[in-house]
Amino acid sequence: MQSTDYDRLMQGNLARVFGERDAARRMIAIADLYAIDAVLYEPDASVTGHLAINRAVEALLSGLPPNFVFSAIGPAVGHHGLARLRWQSGPLGGTAAATGTDVAQIEDGLIRALYVLLDPPGP
C-alpha cells in the first residue's frame, strides 16, 4: 500500500499553485499535483481540468494586491484519501485579510478535487 504525503501535496498546492503568479510555472505545478480531470470547487464556481484550474487561480490572483501571499496555518493532515490545510492570505508580514481551509480528495497521490472553504469575515 502506497503512503500519501498529504502535507507535501497540500503545502505544494498552496505555495506552487495559489502562491505562484507566473502562469507557466503554475501550470507545471498543477500538472505535478492534480489529476488531469481534477475539479476545483470555489464558493461561487467550479472548474475542471488543468487549464481551467490555472485560469481560475489567475483570476483570483489578479484580484489581489501584488504583496499578498498565502501561508499555511500549521501542517496539512489527512488519511484515507482526504486532506485539509488551514491557510491565511494577506500582505507579506502583515495581518491576514482572509483565512480558510482547503479540503482535498486525493487519489493515486494526486489531488482529484479541491474544495476552497473561506472563513466568514471577523468583526
Residue 89 lies in a domain: yes
pLDDT (tens place) for every residue of the chain, 123 residues total: 458 899 999 999 999 999 999 999 999 999 999 999 999 999 999 999 999 999 999 999 999 999 999 999 999 999 999 999 999 999 988 999 999 999 999 999 999 999 999 999 876
Count up the domains in the chain and report the number.
Answer: 1
Residue 113 lies in a domain: yes
Residue 83 lies in a domain: yes
Residue 112 lies in a domain: yes
Task: Identify the CATH number of the domain in which residue 20 sits.
Answer: 3.10.450.50
* Length of the chain as a residue count: 123
Residue 123 lies in a domain: no
Helices and strands of the chain, counted as H and E runs: 3, 7
Which domain covers residue 59, as residue numbers?
A: 6-118
Residue 1 lies in a domain: no
Residue 59 lies in a domain: yes
Q: What does the pLDDT read at residue 122?
A: 73
Task: Give me the DSSP letters along 65-81.
Answer: -TTEEEEESS--EEETT
Q: What does the pLDDT read at residue 1?
A: 46
Residue 63 lies in a domain: yes
Q: What does the pLDDT read at residue 121?
A: 83
DSSP H or E stretch at residue 92: none
